[in-house]
Amino acid sequence: TQLLEQSPQFLSIQEGENLTVYCNSSSVFSSLQWYRQEPGEGPVLLVTVVTGGEVKKLKRLTFQFGDARKDSSLHITAAQPGDTGLYLCAGVTRKLVFGQGTRLTINP
């Protein structure tokens, strides 16, 4: 069974701080996706990383795929209240395997 472990599970920080969320597995994935889910909504895709070592930036969000394609991280710079939500990583093989998510709260 392929498992994705996300850490931390909960994170509450002040506006303007930086943070990093991790997604780890013992399995190799062909690619990895990050989704954000806001209350009352379904997850929405933020980014897909494909190549080992790849780094993608989306405004204040930086996504990195591990060299061995087993892990990934999401770094947010100068967090804002609008970043609040559940962040899910999903490993891609024949299907999507989701982590349990990191619930992020940014306090004004």
Partner 1 sequence: ETGVTQTPRHLVMGMTNKKSLKCEQHLGHNAMYWYKQSAKKPLELMFVYSLEERVENNSVPSRFSPECPNSSHLFLHLHTLQPEDSALYLCASSWGPGNTEAFFGQGTRLTVV
Report which of 75, 73, 68 is spatially closest to residue 52, judged by C-alpha positions.
Answer: 68
Q: Which is nearer to partner 1, 59 or 94 (CB)?
A: 94
Site string for partner 1, 24-53 (x = CB under 8 A): ------xx-x------xxxxxx--x-----
95 near partner 1 (CB under 8 A):
yes
CA distances from 43 to 12, 14, 18, 60, 78 (A): 20, 24, 23, 19, 23
**What DSSP state is assigned to residue 50?**
-
Report which of 82, 85, 86, 76 is spatially closest to residue 6, judged by C-alpha positions.
Answer: 86
Size of the site for partner 1 (CB under 8 A): 24
21 near partner 1 (CB under 8 A):
no
Q: Which is nearer to partner 1, 17 or 41 (CB)?
A: 41
Q: For binding to partner 1 (CB under 8 A), which residues are involved?
A: 4, 9, 30-31, 33, 40-45, 48, 88, 90, 92-101
